[in-house]
Chain A
Amino acid sequence: MKSDMSTIVKTVTDFLFGFIIIFGIYIIIHGHLTPGGGFQGGAVVASGFALLFVAFARTFLDKKPQQLYGLFESVGLLIFISLAFLGIYRTFFYNFLANSGGLFGMKITQGINPGYFNTAGVVPLMNMAVGFEVACGLSLIVYLLYRGVIEEGEDGE
């Protein structure tokens, strides 16, 4: 079992992995304009990583990336709660970047508009933090399950 999948699966994974990751990142960073947000984009990225684990089992199970995934998951959550605490001079989760003119702080025009990317203040940053956290957490779950299955199989044989 501890081997890579067939050539067809590997080729398709090589082709599709980049598109899946780019689509997930698109959902994450456009979370304040289009449907989807941090959680949905993170789930899409994690499903791409699950495909990678299944197709290239031998390469990835030897690298043991669970420490890295755990670290990134914690870092995403810390960024989220830090951004929430940075607005504590008004209230918890205060949107201190909106309409400030700086990062994601463009003033929103009144009326119907196509939706500008450089708006919404702290919301896109929180979307990115949540997306990072969800992608790493779900990838960690799938990775540990897959490794557990394979290691138990090796003990029995």
Chain B
Amino acid sequence: MLNWVEFVTLLIIVVAAYFSIRVSNLLFAVVALAALSLLLSLEFYLLKAPDVAIAEAGIGAGLTTAIYVLAIYQIEKRDKKK
């Protein structure tokens, strides 16, 4: 039963990684990256590493998403100015 859950989680991680690379809309790519981080933290938890899972959920899904979104906002504003 657990193997099934892990398999689905890994499958969605791969799909999210594909989207985060291939999509042309940067904001969509960042959201896909956040989803990848969140599912990766779930996978860490299933593999009995809750310590790493907390770090991954806090840093990967929380803070880097905020930093990426701020950077994208800045870049789009600069492009409009030119």
Q: Contact residues of A with B, CB < 8 Å? A: 27, 35-37, 39-40, 43-44, 46-47, 50, 54, 138, 141-142, 145-146, 148-149, 152-153, 156
Q: Is the interface of A mostly helix, strand, loop or mixed?
A: helix
Main SS of the interface on chain B? helix
What's the tally of chain B residues with a CB closer than 8 Å to chain A?
18
A149–B51 touching, CB < 8 Å: no
Q: Chain B: residues with CB nearer than 8 A to chain A?
A: 50-51, 53-55, 58-59, 62-63, 66-67, 70-71, 73-74, 77-78, 81
CB-based contact A153/B63 at 8 Å: no
- A152-B63 in contact given A36-B54, A39-B55, A43-B58 (Cβ < 8 Å): no
* Known A142-B67, A148-B74, A156-B81; contact A47-B62, beta-carbon cutoff 8 A: yes
Find out whether the CB atom of A146 lies under 8 angstroms from the CB atom of B62: no
